[in-house]
Amino acid sequence: MKRAALLSIVLALCCCLAAWAEIPMIADPSQPAATGEVSLGHDQNGNVTMSLHVRHLADPQALTPAQNSYAVWVQAPDKQPEYVGNLSVDKNLKGEFKAPVPYRAFDVFVTAESNPRPDSPSGMKVLHATVQAKGDH
């Protein structure tokens, strides 16, 4: 009985750790120095949360053509991209973004946009990744 309980705890911890694994983002050739990772977790209700951490991402106004902001999108298989918010980059070219995600498997990407609240992606994808939430929480 104790062995089964211990095994259950170990398996639950492994699932939680797998959910927090960092997934590297792929940079567009126009942003060769940019790097990013996506981390997945769960909130207190068991919902999937996504955190983006980016470095060396140019100020969107320094792009050619200049843009106003970076937009973060998620796209589940067979669905249209959904805007989830803006990614701000500080003077050190670093940025962080966190949001709940209603999917367990999805693509996440960042676009440079002229409109600070776009309806659909119109700019180039500066970073992108395909993610899969792990564990059944």
User: For position 97, what pLDDT does the model report?
Assistant: 97
pTM of the entire structure?
A: 0.81
User: For position 135, what pLDDT does the model report?
Assistant: 57
User: For position 12, what pLDDT does the model report?
Assistant: 42
DSSP 37-74: EEEEEE-TTS-EEEEEEEESPPPGGGSSS--SEEEEEE
CA dist 81 and 121 (Å) reads 8
User: For position 7, what pLDDT does the model report?
Assistant: 37
Q: Tell me the average confidence (pLDDT) per consecutive run of 10 residues in the chain, 137 residues long.
A: 43 42 92 94 88 96 92 96 96 96 94 94 93 66
